[in-house]
Amino acid sequence: MASSPDSAEDPPPATSFPKGVALMLAAATCFALSDVFAKKALLRYSGVEVAWFRYAGMAAVLAIAAPWHGLPGRSANPGLQIGRGAGLIGAALFYTLALAALPLAEASAIAFASPVFVTLMSALALRERVDRTGWLVVVAGFVGVLLVMRPGSAAFQPAALFALASAASWAGAIVFTRKSFVSDSVATTTAYSATIGLAALSVLALPAMPMPTPGEAATLAAMAIIWGFAQWFALSAFHQAEASRLAPFAYLQLVFAIGFSHLIFAHVPDAWAFAGIAVIVASGVIAGVRARRRAPVANRPLLPPGP
C-alpha cells in the first residue's frame, strides 16, 4: 500500500528491530553479491560503464518500489541534492575503479572507512565539535585502512587509493544528506540521487559502451538489479530500526565479501588485511553509535555506510 513521503523533521519509525535486521542482512548479502558480478563485468566494461548499469538498476527498483514507500516531491534545496548526488556518483565510480584491480574483500574494507571521513568532514564542514574519543576513532579508522593498504610495501596497490576516494566521496554525500534532511523527505532525496547519478553517468558511459553479448547482458542485469535491491533493502531497514542498532549488521557485508572472494575468486586476505578490517569495522560502528547519540535526525542514512 502506498504511503506518503516521510517528514524530514520526524524521527524514523523504529517499528520492528527484527525486521530491520533481516532487511539489513539482505542488503549486505546483495551488495557483496553485486560486487561479484561487477568484478566479472569489469573484465570488459570500464568502471564508468559498470557504475552506469548500477544506477540504472537502482532507478528501475526505485520506480517499482516507490508506490509502496511514498512518492517523491520537489526539493526545497536542489543545490544540496546536487552536492549529495555528486558525492554518491564519486563513491560508486571510484569504487568500481578500485574493484577492477583489487580483491573484493580489500576493496570493500577500505570503502567501509567512510564513517571515519564523516567524522572528519563534520568537524571541518559542519563545525561539529569532536571530542578526544571522536578523534581517537578517526585515527583508529585510518590505522585500519593503512593495515589493509600497506603503502610502501610490496602488497600496496595504487588502486587502493580509488577505494579510499570512494569512502571520502560517500562521506561528502552524508554531509550534504544531513543538511538536506532539514527540508526534504527520504523519498525525494533518494529520487534526486538516482536521477542525478544516472544522467551524469549516461553522458560519460553511453557513447563508447560496447554491445554486450547475451552472457554479458545477463551478468550486467544481475549486477544492476541486485545492487538496486540492496539499496532499497537498506533504505527499508533504516525505516524499521535505528541506524546505530543496525550498524553492526551492515558491516556483515565485509564478511560476505570475504566469503565470496574465497569461494569465487580463490582469494583470502592475509593476516594484516584481516587486522585492518577488524579495526575499520570497530571504528565505524563506534563512530555511527556516537553520531546517533549526538544528532538522531542527522544520522538517518539513505544507504549503507558504503558504495
Domain that holds residue 240: 17-294
| 2 domain residue, yes or no | no
Q: What is the pLDDT of residue 226?
A: 92
| 40 domain residue, yes or no | yes
Q: How far apart are CA 175 and CA 128, in angstroms?
A: 11
| 186 domain residue, yes or no | yes
Dihedral of the alpha carbons of 50, 20, 84, 143, in degrees to the nearest 10: -80
Q: Does the CA dihedral 53-166-234-99 come out positive or negative? A: positive
Q: How far apart are CA 37 and CA 184, in angstroms?
A: 34
The model's pLDDT over 273-298, given as tens digits with 9 standing for 90+, comes to 999 988 988 887 777 676 666 654 44
98: left (phi over 0), alpha (psi -120 to 50) or beta: alpha
Q: What is the pLDDT of residue 16?
A: 77
Q: What is the pLDDT of residue 307?
A: 61
Per-residue buried b or exposed e for 225-253, using 16+ beta carbons within 10 Å of the residue's own CB: bbbbbbbbbbbbbbbbbbbbbbbebbbbb
Look at the chain and count its residues: 307
Q: How far apart are CA 47 and CA 38, in angstroms?
A: 9
Count of domains observed in the chain = 1
| 9 domain residue, yes or no | no
Q: What is the pLDDT of residue 10?
A: 39
Q: How far apart are CA 39 and CA 182, in angstroms?
A: 38
Which residues fall within 8 angstroms of residue 23, CB to CB, at 6 or more apart?
233, 234, 236, 237, 240
| 224 domain residue, yes or no | yes
**Grid-cell match 549516461, residue found:** 202
The model's pLDDT over 165-180, given as tens digits with 9 standing for 90+, comes to 998 898 887 777 666 5
| 6 domain residue, yes or no | no
pLDDT means over runs of 10, the chain (307 residues): 34 65 90 94 93 88 72 75 86 92 90 79 72 83 88 80 90 71 65 86 92 92 89 75 72 88 90 90 76 52 47
| 117 domain residue, yes or no | yes
Nearest Cα residue to 110 out of 227, 253, 243: 253
Q: What is the pLDDT of residue 133?
A: 81
DSSP 174: H
